[in-house]
Every structure is written in C-alpha cells, then in structure tokens.
Amino acid sequence: MRNYSLAHSKFGVDARTGLTPQRSRLHRSIPLWFLMLVILLATGVVAQNSPHVAAVAPDTGKVNDDVTITGENLGKDGVAAAYLSDDTTDFKAMIVDQAADKIVMKVPQVKAGRYNVSILVAGKIIISPFRFTVAE
C-alpha cells in the first residue's frame, strides 16, 4: 500500500492531487471564496433594486396637502403604498402620482403631530429616516 503523505513525497508534491502544499491549500479554499463572491454580488444586485427614500418635501403640512417622496426605485413595481407612521399605527396615504424617482401622496386624516414617512415594499413597511409634521 502506498503512503501519500507529503513527508514521503520526493518533491513536496501531494501524490493524490499533484499540487504543492501551497497550491493544495488554495485549491481547497477556492469554493469558499467563490461562494462568498456569489453572495456579495447577489446582495449588491438586490440592494440596487431596493427602493430608497432620499428626501421628503415639504417636511410640514396639513391633512390633504401633497407631500413628495423622492429617491430611487419608487415605482409601482417596487412600492405598493406610502404611510405616515407613529409609534403604534401606520396611516395609509393616497398616492396621487408615482414614478421611479418620486411618489406624491396626500397627507392622510391624522391628528397633528410628528410622523415617520414609510413605504410598503414586498409586504413589509419600511420606515424611512425622514419625519413629517402634521400641523392643525
């Protein structure tokens, strides 16, 4: 029976793989690096198509006023609804106009106060970092 250990190899080459110790380690790690690369690329593709809110204007208004949410990937295929949200409730706003770079919504019937601007993406409400104040 042959002994395939590197210690018995004449030139430091693994008799089973034909690789030097350095190349053998690299050969075994390639699948892990490939998997990591695939995951990073897939994450980047998903992130590129995810809706992103960049601004809300104006930041103060009254019930039924128009509010414009600007950003990326805000079209009907990505964003199903817009909301003003407080700590407990999401108040659905009527969308007046919607395009890839903006959503125009009406301030819903809510009491005066500060609200988070939120969007509905793939069945989940995403709270943006922007706040809107409803005046009396």
Tokens in use for 20?
């030097």
CA–CA gap between residue 22 and residue 4 (Å, rounded) = 17
1 or 104, which is more confident? 104
For 33-90, write each residue's pLDDT tens digit.
566 666 766 655 445 688 999 999 999 999 999 999 999 999 999 999 999 999 899 9
For 25-48, write each residue's pLDDT tens digit.
555 555 665 666 667 666 554 456
Asked if 109 and 98 count as a contact pair (C-beta separation under 8 A), the reply is no
Quote the CATH superfamily of domain 51-134.
Immunoglobulins (2.60.40.10)
Helix (H) or strand (E) holding 44: helix 21-49
Confidence of residue 6 (pLDDT cuts 50, 70, 90): very low
Sole residue written with tokens 């103060």:
60
Taking the CA atoms of 69, 71, 76 and 81 in sequence, report the sign of the dihedral they define: negative
13 or 122, which is more confident? 122
Residue 48, φ and ψ in degrees, nearest 5:
-65, -30
- The bridge status of strand 90-99 relative to strand 102-106 is antiparallel
